[in-house]
Amino acid sequence: MLQVGVIGATGYAGSQLVALLVNHPLVEIAYLASHSYSGKRFSEIYPSLQGGCDLLLEEEDIEEASKRCSVLFLALPHGMASHKVTKEILERCIIIDLGADYRLSNSSVYESWYKSDHGSKDLLGEAVYGLCELHRDRIGTANLIANPGCYTTCSILTLAPLVAEKLVDPTSLIIDSASGVSGAGRSEKLGSLFCEVNESYKAYSVATHRHTPEIEQELSALNGADLVVQFTPHLVPMHRGILSTCYANLKEGVSEAEITSAYRKWYAGESFIRLMGSSLPETRYVKNTNMCAIGWKVDGRTNRVIAIGAIDNLVKGAAGQAVQNMNIRCNLGEESGLASTVASPL
Ligand SMILES: NC(=O)C1=CN([C@@H]2O[C@H](COP(=O)(O)OP(=O)(O)OC[C@H]3O[C@@H](n4cnc5c(N)ncnc54)[C@H](OP(=O)(O)O)[C@@H]3O)[C@@H](O)[C@H]2O)C=CC1
Ligand SMILES: CC(=O)N[C@@H](CCC(=O)OP(=O)(O)O)C(=O)O
């Protein structure tokens, strides 16, 4: 059994990860760390895992954890991982970081969007962006895997075939994404209180959201030249789920049939992509699963394609994709532990 650990195990992303790892047939959890709850059992914090994961939560010690584990997942707030991971740690242990520290290959772009300094710029060259469907080969040999953000996973997967196959004008991309409140994490925040979110729907971080450069980095690579996107996130009063509605102007003469073949070509044989064509996805179709469902329609009147993607932010948008990355890296079988509906502590 592969020995694995989670630092930040008590957050929403970390606890979803623990729930997945407990049910993974080829791994054993050797280490769980928490900031506020060390000394308690994981199941005291998440009673739905009583009998499933009663491990003691330890004080965070990444050196010690990297000696006990072959794979260590970091599910910490942004800006922490880059100050903890070192070359020596990566020599003995595979790190899968669920935060943003190693997602952007250019440290100046990171520092300008995250407004904080990067703690290990020398490791950025080693990091592989862990969007499994696009970077499977490189993930297979990486010791530092940057698990993508939730909005970004959904938006990039939805737009990738259109951009890569040059079916759309790359200067015309607009993405409206909506997320459930678990996307904001478990820590106390005014904006996550029930009365602040229930019965309401709002856009936030307009023109400034930090997932914008991540989407641009990946779509630019597929485009073969830099592009920019208009990305607007929204908050929906539901626990989990992300829906990205993506608009793009069609290049002259492109038909709906060509769009459909591009999606089929790109995602042939992918276990975690569900192509829905004009039926269009909803978040409930992918809740508690590692799937990304994608649908599309051409509007002949405006000459645009509207492509819609849906994921569960805590699964394909975080913990599920982290497990998929581990499976690829460690040759465990990409679907191991990611059964059609996964266990959830929430
Ligand atoms: N929520 C989501 O949908 C997604 C989250 N992510 C990323 O995953 C990471 C975790 O997010 P999420 O689970 O939502 O956040 P949470 O706020 O729910 O959890 C954060 C975790 O980090 C720990 N922590 C907080 N402050 C410190 C500190 N100063 N030192 C050590 N540990 C600390 C917390 O410990 P404790 O509980 O003990 O206080 C908790 O375990 C983030 O980088 C986030 O961007 C990525 C994709 C989706
Ligand atoms: C609803 C909500 O607040 N969502 C978070 C995104 C969570 C996430 O996946 O992003 P990172 O991993 O990059 O933090 C936000 O907008 O900040």
* Domains along the chain with CATH numbers: 2-148+316-329 (3.40.50.720), 151-311 (3.30.360.10)
Report the separation in Å between the CA atom of 150 and the middle of ligand 2, taken as the mean of its atom positions: 7
Contact 318, 16 (CB under 8 A): yes
| Inter-CA distances, 208 with 60, 187, 212, 234, 325, Å | 32, 22, 8, 13, 29
**Could you identify the atom of ligand 2 that is nearest to the CA of residue 205?**
16
What pLDDT, on the 0 to 100 scale, is given for residue 97?
98
Strands (E) located in 230-318:
230-235, 242-249, 273-277, 292-299, 304-311
Report the separation in Å between the CA atom of 314 and the middle of ligand 2, taken as the mean of its atom positions: 10
Query: Of the ligands numbered here, which is closest to the C-alpha atom of 77?
Result: 1
Judge if ipTM > 0.95. yes
pLDDT band at 340 (very low <50, low <70, confident <90, very high): confident
**Could you identify the atom of ligand 2 that is nearest to the CA of residue 151?**
9
Overall average pLDDT of the 283-310 stretch: 97
Q: Is the pLDDT of residue 344 over 80?
A: no
Report the separation in Å between the CA atom of 309 and the middle of ligand 1, taken as the mean of its atom positions: 25
Tens digits of per-residue pLDDT, 58-91?
999 999 999 999 999 999 999 999 999 999 999 9
Which of 160, 145, 185, 204 shows the shortest CA–CA distance to 35? 185
Q: Please state the φ and ψ torsions of residue 144, each to the nearest 5 degrees.
A: -130, 110
Catalytic residue among 150, 154, 246, 292: 150
- The amino acid at 91: E
Q: Is the pLDDT of residue 343 over 80?
A: no
pLDDT band at 345 (very low <50, low <70, confident <90, very high): confident
Q: Is the pLDDT of residue 18 over 80?
A: yes
Which of 261, 242, 48, 296 shows the shortest CA–CA distance to 164? 261
Ligand 1 binding pocket, CB closer than 6 Å:
8, 10-14, 34-37, 60, 75-78, 98-99, 149-150, 182-183, 185-187, 313-314, 317-318
Cα 35 from Cα 48, distance rounded (Å): 21
Overall average pLDDT of the 119-141 stretch: 98
Q: Is the pLDDT of residue 256 over 90?
A: yes
What pLDDT, on the 0 to 100 scale, is given for residue 307?
98
SS3 readout for 148-191: CCHHHHHHHHHHHHHHHCCCECCCCCEEEEEECHHHHCCCCCHH
Output 266 or 345, whichever has higher pLDDT: 266
What pLDDT, on the 0 to 100 scale, is given for residue 200?
97
Tens digits of per-residue pLDDT, 202-245?
999 999 999 999 999 999 999 999 999 999 999 999 999 999 99
